[in-house]
Amino acid sequence: MHTIEQSIRSKRQSGSPAVIPYLTCGFPTREALRSQIEQLAPLSAVIELGVAFSDPMADGVTIQRSSAVALQQQASLDWLLTELKGIRSACPLAIMSYLNPLLTISAGTLGLRLKDANIAGLIIPDLPLEESAPLREEMASLGIALIQMVTPATPMERAKMIASRSGGFLYAVTSMGVTGGSAGAASSSGGASGQSLDAVGSYLAGLRAISPVPVAAGFGIRTREQVRSLQPHADALIVGSALIEAIEKGQSPGEFIRGLIG
């Protein structure tokens, strides 16, 4: 069993919600990264480390904002991978990056650099299954999971194929649209079609029935109530924009996540 999968399953068995917080690395400053990871790791099944990109087309306004700040702070994939060599995390780390920053590291070297930085998984929002074979093979040989996404628009047959090739966990996008909407409630941002909680629950149940790896729900999870009601339906819950907004307000990441799962 992959270390990410193991971490999610053991969190679940201990009875506490398995959360996967997302950070835009370099937001609000590059220096904040170490403390953010140290605070979040004991509370988390996995931490998603976001690499800022100039054109985040799958992200809503919150992550667009944090990405712009991180870029102003000179955050880059190269900086992040160097920085991580000196940081010990109590939970597995996954990189979330759009494809283009990853292409700056030559093929054959990327995997080794990820390995050196203790990265256990990779999420690439603009790399669909059809384009992912070469990368998956390279990562598999190093034990790094390539985590694939499914959405409510993905037909079940296709979801099955994606789940069978996803490493670590299956990233289940719970609402159509960009990040930062609201799952299980009428959406208020970006024109995203809000799914009812029942619809999200049965969508997740369908995925868990076919997925050999844990199913993590993401996009629009922001309140303690949502965590309570979604927890039975998913193996893990991904919290992104809401955490970034908390950091923007000056809250510490650890405090925010404790409030969400406590």
Partner 1 sequence: MTSMSASGKSGTMNANATSANLVVPRELNWPPRSEADQAAELAKLLRGEYPDSNGRYGPFGGRFVPETLMGAVTRLETVAREALQDMSFLATLESEGREWIGRRTPMMKAKNLSAAWGINLWLKREDLAHTGAHKINNALGQGLLAKRLGVKRIIAETGAGQHGVATAAACARLGFPCRVYMGATDVQRQAPNVQRMKWLGAEVVPVTSGDQTLRAAIDEALRDWVSDPMGTHYLLGSAVGPHPFPWLVRTFQSVIGRESRQQMLEQAQRLPDAVFSCVGGGSNAIGMFHGFLADASVKIFGVEAGGRGDTPGEHSSTITHGRPGVLHGCYSYLLQDQNGQVSDSHSVSAGLDYPGVGPEHSFLSDVGRVSYVQAGDEEALAAVKDCCRMEGILPALEPSHALAAAKNFGKANPGATVLVNLCGRGDKDMPILMKVLS
- Positions touching partner 1 (CB under 8 A) are 53-61, 64, 71, 76-78, 98-104, 106-107, 110, 125-131, 134-135, 138, 148-151, 153-155, 158, 162, 173, 176-178, 190-193
Q: Active-site residue 48, yes or no? A: yes
Q: Which of 48, 78, 198, 248 is catalytic?
A: 48
Residue 50 CB contacts under 8 Å (≥ 6 apart), including other chains = 22, 23, 24, 25, 63, 66, 67, 96, 97, 240
Decide: helix, strand or coil at residue 232.
Answer: helix
Nearest CB to partner 1, comparing residues 17 and 194: 194
Within its chain, how far is the Cα of 107 from the centroid? 23
- Residue 39: CA count within 13 A, CB half-sphere: 18
Encode burial over 133-152: b for 16+ CB neighbours within 10 A, e otherwise.
eebbebbeeeebbbbbbbbe
Q: For partner 1, which is the closer residue by CB, 71 or 197?
A: 71
Backbone angles phi and psi of 173, in degrees to 5 = -75, 125
Is residue 31 among the annotated active site residues?
no
Minimum CB distance to partner 1, residue 187 (Å): 9
Cα dihedral 135, 137, 141, 147 sign = positive
Coil vs helix vs strand at 129: helix
- Closest to partner 1 by CB, 58 or 261: 58
Give every CB contact of residue 172 below 8 A, 6+ residues apart in sequence: 149, 150, 151, 203, 204, 207, 215, 216, 217, 218, 234
- Pick from 180, 220, 214: which is nearest to 200 by CA? 220
Length of the chain as a residue count: 262
Q: How far is the CB of 241 from partner 1 (least distance, A)?
A: 14
User: Catalytic residue among 5, 38, 59, 198, which?
Assistant: 59
CB of 101 to partner 1, least distance (A): 4
What lies within 8 Å, CB to CB, of 103 at 6+ separation is: none
- Give least dist CB 240 to partner 1, A: 14
Instruction: Kindly tell me which of 107 and 209 has the beta carbon lying closer to partner 1.
Output: 107
Give least dist CB 256 to partner 1, A.
25
Minimum separation from the CB atom of position 170 to partner 1 (A): 11
> Residue 35 or 100: which CB sits closer to partner 1?
100
Closest to partner 1 by CB, 12 or 30: 30
Computed over its alpha carbons, how large is the radius of gyration of the chain? Answer: 17
Which residues participate in catalysis according to the annotation? 48, 59
